[in-house]
Amino acid sequence: MRISNRGLEIIKEFEGFRARAYMCPAGVWTIGYGHTRGVKAGDVVNEQQATELLRNDAKEAEEVVTEEVAAEEVAEVDVEEVAAE
């Protein structure tokens, strides 16, 4: 699975851009377009850096989804094989 450029734009619209780190309602330091890993008070990013952080975050999410879907497909095959026996 891979997110499209339009998908990234939708995330950007939803998240909004914040150049300076802020504490989100969940109590997590956040910056850019919703990036949280390693963010601390006083951090600053420009829009280009924030977009790159978003792309990296999306890539990590894509990898997790791909792994989970593959595991689910294997589980379905195993159930079908057992049912056929």
Active site residue 52: no
Is residue 24 annotated as part of the catalytic site, yes or no?
Answer: yes
pTM more than 0.95: no
Cα separation of 30 and 21, whole Å? 5
34-76 pLDDT, tens digit each: 999 999 999 999 999 999 999 999 999 988 888 888 766 655 5
What per-residue confidence (pLDDT) applies to 72?
Answer: 65
Taking the C-alpha atoms of residue 35 and residue 53, their distance in angstroms, rounded to an integer, is 7
Domains of the chain: 5-84 (1.10.530.40)
Catalytic residue selected from 9, 13, 24, 52: 24
Are 49 and 69 in contact by the 8 Å Cβ rule? The answer is no
pLDDT at 16: 96
Question: So what's the pLDDT on residue 80?
Answer: 43
